[in-house]
Amino acid sequence: MPREMMYAEAMATALVEEMKRDSNVIFYGQNLGMTDRDPMVRQFGKERVRITPISETAEMGIAVGAAMTGLRPVVELWMSEFMLVAMGQVLNEAPRIRYMTGGQVKVPLVFKAGYGFAAGWAGQHSNCIYHTMMGIPGLKVVLPATPADAKGLMAAAIRDDNPVVYLHHYMLTIDKGPVPDGEFVIPFGVADIKRAGSDVTLVATGWMVKHSLAAAETLAKEGISVEVIDPRTIAPLDVQTILTSLKKTGRLVLVDQATRHASVSAIIAAEVVEHGFELLKAPVKFVTALDTSIPYSEPMEKFVLPDEAKIVRAVKAVLGK
């Protein structure tokens, strides 16, 4: 029985359910569980819910060591850029250990962080850094776009025996949607067709799914049918669902909040040009952030980021209109 829930609430629900289910799951990070009145502390106690200093290297490194020895840590990192001060733990420790030990040691953990906060947070707090985490064997990366995905992917992330980076989008925090009650786990590597269509295949993640669905709605009024695909996890990446859609449409628009050379879109384009080349009837079109840092002032910020209008234009362009 699904019920309406906010995106943030859906993530939290999955975390609580998984912590109830498995006492090895612990949750910590900065600025959480300050007092005994905190709901998570009340429910799970101060051993399993901990507040940390501003020490990302230790926060994530401790999670790696705890995971190596039998816990399943979920680390709240707040903004994904904060991980950059300790990126070695994300890219060169957590995902390497199982392999380097010849499979003896597993590292089940979740690094949870928000991203893409396009609301005047300026140059250092609004970025999309997921490209840094792609092509890192051993690491999985999740980008939920709806409350239901937020819950189902969080449950899957916590149950996964590998290090998982769970990146939720700040602009979606209070968006509401139907979320299945109780046990609900979304397998990784399975793209979701957020809207079926026949003229153009459009692939987007996170907040860009919302913009793309709005654009698809607008275009539908003009008789253009867009299929909107959300990979949901970018590592592993479900290329097959995109290729299947291209068999129908032959036209591809890739939407990404990141700059072009830091985008998932570029990776998807690369897969398509090798494995779906014959399916393409036209050049692939990209709608990405412009090549600047994110400016503070609103008119400039809006100018550099993808939006519904830019997506509509790209879809028409790929149709030669």
Ligand X SMILES: Cc1ncc(C[n+]2csc(CCOP(=O)(O)OP(=O)(O)O)c2C)c(N)n1
Chain residues binding its own copies by CB under 8 A are 57, 81, 84-88, 91-93, 95-96, 99-100, 122-124, 127, 129, 131-132, 134-138, 235, 237, 258-263, 265-267, 269-270, 272-275, 277-278, 280, 282-286, 291-293, 295-296
- Decide if 238 contacts 189 (C-beta within 8 A): yes
CA distance 235 to 135: 8
Per rule CB under 8 A, is residue 187 in the interface with other proteins?
Answer: no
* Contacts with 101 (C-beta within 8 Å, 6 or more apart), sequence order: none
CA distance 164 to 275: 27
Binder of residue 161, out of ligand X, other proteins, its own copies, none (CB less than 5 to 8 A by kind): other proteins
Binder of residue 134, out of other proteins, ligand X, its own copies, none (CB less than 5 to 8 A by kind): its own copies
* Contacts with 88 (C-beta within 8 Å, 6 or more apart), sequence order: 57
- Complete DSSP assignment for 161-204: SSEEEEEEEGGGTT-EEEE--S---PPTT--EEEE--SSEEEE-
Per rule CB under 8 A, is residue 223 in the interface with other proteins?
Answer: no
Binder of residue 58, out of its own copies, other proteins, ligand X, none (CB less than 5 to 8 A by kind): other proteins
Where in 137-176 is the site for other proteins (CB under 8 A)? 137-138, 161-162, 170-171, 173-174
**227 carries an active-site annotation:** no
Per rule CB under 8 A, is residue 53 in the interface with other proteins?
Answer: yes
Of 59 and 93, the one with the shorter C-beta distance to its own copies is 93
Cross-strand partners of 30 = 52
Of 80 and 201, the one with the shorter C-beta distance to other proteins is 80
Binding residue for other proteins (CB under 8 A) from 11, 27, 52, 157?
52
A 10 A CB-CB count for 151 gives 28
A 10 A CB-CB count for 278 gives 8
Site track for ligand X across 37-66, x = CB under 6 A: -----------------x-x----------
Per rule CB under 8 A, is residue 317 in the interface with other proteins?
Answer: no
Nearest to 94 by CA among 36, 139, 131, 56: 139
At closest approach, how far in Å is the CB of 127 from ligand X?
Answer: 13
- Decide if 286 contacts 260 (C-beta within 8 A): yes
At closest approach, how far in Å is the CB of 122 from ligand X?
Answer: 12
Binding residue for other proteins (CB under 8 A) from 20, 39, 100, 309?
100
Binder of residue 258, out of its own copies, other proteins, ligand X, none (CB less than 5 to 8 A by kind): its own copies
**18 carries an active-site annotation:** no
CA distances from 180 to 2, 3, 129, 173, 215 (A): 4, 6, 30, 18, 27
Per rule CB under 6 A, is residue 85 in the interface with ligand X?
Answer: yes
Annotated active-site residue in 56, 76, 81, 93: 56
Binder of residue 260, out of its own copies, other proteins, ligand X, none (CB less than 5 to 8 A by kind): its own copies
- Complete DSSP assignment for 104-157: S----EEEEEEE--TTT-HHHHS---GGGGTT-TT-EEE---SHHHHHHHHHHH
At closest approach, how far in Å is the CB of 128 from ligand X?
Answer: 17
Q: Which two tokens stand for residue 179?
A: 């979320």
Residues involved in catalysis: 56, 125
